[in-house]
Amino acid sequence: MFWKKKQPEIIPEVKPVQKREKQQRAKTTPSSTLKKDLNAVRNTAVLNFGFNANSGSNINFLILKALPTMRAVSRDAVLKNPIGRKYMNLSVDGVCGSDGVYVKPAVELDSTEEEINRINAQLEKLFDRWAYDPDKFSLDGSLSFDLFQQNVEKIRVQDGECFIRIHKIKSTIKVEVLDSARLLQVNNQHLGDGTYISNGIRFDTNHRPIEYYFCRFDPVTYSFFTGDYEVIPANEICHYFIADQVGQERGLPDLVASSKLIEDLKNFTEAALTAKRVSASSMAFITNSEQESTALLDADDVEGVTPTYTEYFEAGFIGELNYGQDIKTVTPTNGVDGIDQFTNELMNQISMGLNVTKQALLADTSNASFSAARLTEKLQQTTFRTRTNVLINKVLKPIYVAWLKNEMLNSNKLDLSFSDFDDLICARYISQKPISLDPVKDIQAEILKLDAGLVSKTQVIAELGGDPVKVLAEIEAEKENKEDIQDGNQTTKEGTNDTPTSD
């Protein structure tokens, strides 16, 4: 029968359910300062010797990426941090001194000694008149030769490098100090003639500088024009920096190695001062008994309400509390311990990073023995003598050579030949001698060298900064005067004894 016929079973269409892909959302929990410090310790440069995956191949890549930031941090530290300020002044005092490096001509001509002395005296006189006159020496008329050296060393400490341009204006030589921030690092490229621009400097195939690309600077808005460059030939630029590796194109600030340590010391000192300030104050709480705590409230506001009383008492206040009130005082304890040990350890590491002794950096002579002070003096002299040598070779010698060449071309006072130019540019660069802690022993050491024939009087006088010709002539004249005086006194005495007596 049709009603018994089995009806086809209707299977409901099951729509495929699309599974949502689980998106892993990063938790936006703020990282704590301690976590950042721990990550910095794990990724510290000490473990990988100062190089990561991006900078291990070439130091110039590190300079390209990090030099502007390093320079800004170093300038800020020199202005605001006492350690950075002290280190800058210490480096200037050790490298240049108060009088700077003195240039004394010492030509090596095949001539008589009198002629050589005459030429040396003439060159020294002309150079001093030019170098120590700010209007003649510097382009802006603000720097003389000694002040120029001090400013150059300050800039090198802050920025890691200093650029000096030698101008030839109307038959004269003038010197200008350029801002290293103008030498941008945004135009690295290969040029068609095989040369290339790297870190703002154009090099040839032998990595010899050809040109420097300094961007324009607006002295009113104090802004740099990135796309507008002043291309300066390399023979007009003295690039003063201390290279850490071969082929290094730009200089790194001295404070880079110690910047994190200086920041840690600053934060710890601020925390210690805050703890001391808190521990020096006391707090008090006024408590009421349970029966009297709601006496001043309305009946509807009694439940669930706890009144808060805030009162300030002047120092030495004596008063009477209300019925049921009591005062509980809280005296905070100092939570900073071992500040001397922590500071001492940080200062040791900061001194190592700056390549100076802690005693010299702090200018602290407490608990310092005489032998330790002498050792510190010798170590600092070696450190600063190395930097002075770089200053002489990269800055002072090129300036003296440029001045002498210009003087020989445009001055009628010098009757010198360019065929002897290599012999004429010879000079002695005399650094200011530091004050000795034990001058008697130093003089005795020089006398022993003279007696042993290891040095000459001329060499000793030259190292002291004097002119051997003048000094020896004055010594000889003083000896002759002394002998004449003694002979005169002896003659007078003999004449007095031989005077006949009258009968």
pLDDT digits (tens, 9 = 90+) for 268-281: 888 888 877 777 77
Token pair in block for residue 155: 């800039």
Beta bridge partners of 230: 214
- Report which of 223, 244, 217, 225 is spatially closest to residue 63, judged by C-alpha positions: 244
Is residue 21 predicted with pLDDT exceeding 90?
A: no
What CA–CA distance (Å, rounded) separates 480 from 473?
11
346-376 in b/e form (b: 16+ CB < 10 A) is bbebbbebbbbbbbbbeeeeeeeeeeeeeeb
- Quick: pLDDT tens for 405-441: 999 998 877 888 888 899 999 999 988 877 777 778 8
- Indicate the helix (H) or strand (E) that contains 79: helix 59-80
Cβ–Cβ < 8 Å for 491, 484: no
- Quick: pLDDT tens for 155-169: 999 999 999 999 999
Task: Read off the pLDDT of each residue in 60-71 and give the average, rounded to a whole number.
Answer: 92
Would you list the domain boundaries of the chain?
57-259, 264-356, 438-484
Confidence of residue 449 (pLDDT cuts 50, 70, 90): confident
Is residue 32 predicted with pLDDT exceeding 70?
A: no
Confidence of residue 25 (pLDDT cuts 50, 70, 90): very low
Is residue 3 predicted with pLDDT exceeding 60?
A: no
SS3 call for 227: strand
Is residue 43 predicted with pLDDT exceeding 70?
A: no
Predicted pLDDT at 46:
41
Q: For the packed helices 59-80 and 259-279, what is the interaxial angle rounded to 10 degrees?
A: 30
- Quick: pLDDT tens for 91-137: 999 999 888 999 999 998 888 888 998 999 999 999 999 999 999 99
Predicted pLDDT at 309:
57
Predicted pLDDT at 50:
45
CA separation, residue 301 to residues 173, 305, 325, 360 (Å): 90, 7, 21, 70
Is residue 41 predicted with pLDDT exceeding 50?
A: no
Percent of the chain with pLDDT over 90: 37
Phi then psi for 162, rounded to 5 degrees?
-145, 135
Is residue 199 predicted with pLDDT exceeding 60?
A: yes
Per-range mean pLDDT, top range of 242-246, 292-296, 434-438: 242-246
